[in-house]
């Protein structure tokens, strides 16, 4: 059985929109590229045709991946959100105990994560450590490094949890 993939409603809607775009728009564009490339003649020496076939293969792989994610999606509902505990779809304010910096992160499913935009996955090291914790809790996250024999330990305190 496939593992369920957690999404916020917003993330799921984006996933479905991306899938619809690839199927209804990009697939047609790639088919047109193939037809044009075919018209150039001998397929055995046709670089345009080879490139169009590669583009088609990548597109179909992307569509298949999105199909899988949609089939196995579970949307975390508003009823599941308890502001007392960190969960998917909630925004957490944390304080770095070493630097005293404050960060806001929204906890999202792995396919939605974008740390530069403040969206961290529930499966990332920090996201995992935060899940289920409450305001005031302190967490430690060991970040493995290829350069160091030991990982770096980050220490945070949860300052707030909100929708």
Question: Which pLDDT belongs to residue 147?
Answer: 64
Average pLDDT over residues 106-133: 91
pLDDT in tens, 21-41: 999 999 999 999 888 888 877
Question: Which pLDDT belongs to residue 58?
Answer: 96
Backbone angles phi, psi at 107, to 5 degrees: -85, 125
Average pLDDT over residues 143-151: 69
pLDDT in tens, 32-84: 988 888 887 766 677 888 888 899 999 999 999 999 999 999 888 877 777 78
CA dist., res. 157 & res. 110, Å (int): 23
- Domains of the chain, each with CATH number or no CATH: 5-75 (1.10.287.180), 81-162 (3.10.50.30)
Task: Look at residue 1 and tell me whether its pLDDT is greater than 60.
Answer: no
CA dist., res. 142 & res. 136, Å (int): 20
Question: Which pLDDT belongs to residue 158?
Answer: 95
Token pair belonging to 90: 């909630």
Whether 18 and 55 have beta carbons less than 8 Å apart is answered as no
Would you call 105 exposed, middle or buried from its count of C-beta atoms within 10 A (0-12, 13-18, 19+)?
buried
Question: Which pLDDT belongs to residue 117?
Answer: 93
């Amino acid at each position: 059985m496939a593992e369920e993939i957690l999404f916020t409603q917003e993330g799921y809607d984006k996933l479905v929109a991306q899938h619809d775009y690839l199927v209804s728009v990009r697939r047609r564009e790639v088919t047109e590229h193939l037809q044009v490339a075919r018209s150039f003649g001998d397929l055995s020496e046709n670089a345009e045709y080879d490139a169009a076939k590669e583009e088609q293969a990548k597109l179909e792989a992307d569509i298949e991946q999105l199909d899988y994610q949609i089939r196995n999606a579970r949307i975390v509902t508003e009823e599941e959100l308890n502001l007392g505990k960190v969960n998917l779809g909630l925004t957490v304010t944390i304080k770095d105990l070493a630097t005293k910096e404050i960060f806001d992160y929204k906890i999202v499913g792995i396919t939605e994560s974008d740390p530069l935009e403040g969206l961290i996955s529930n499966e990332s090291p920090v996201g995992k450590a935060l899940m289920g914790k409450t305001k005031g809790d302190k967490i430690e996250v060991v970040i493995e490094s290829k350069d160091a024999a030991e990982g770096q330990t980050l220490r945070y305190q949860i300052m707030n949890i909100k929708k």
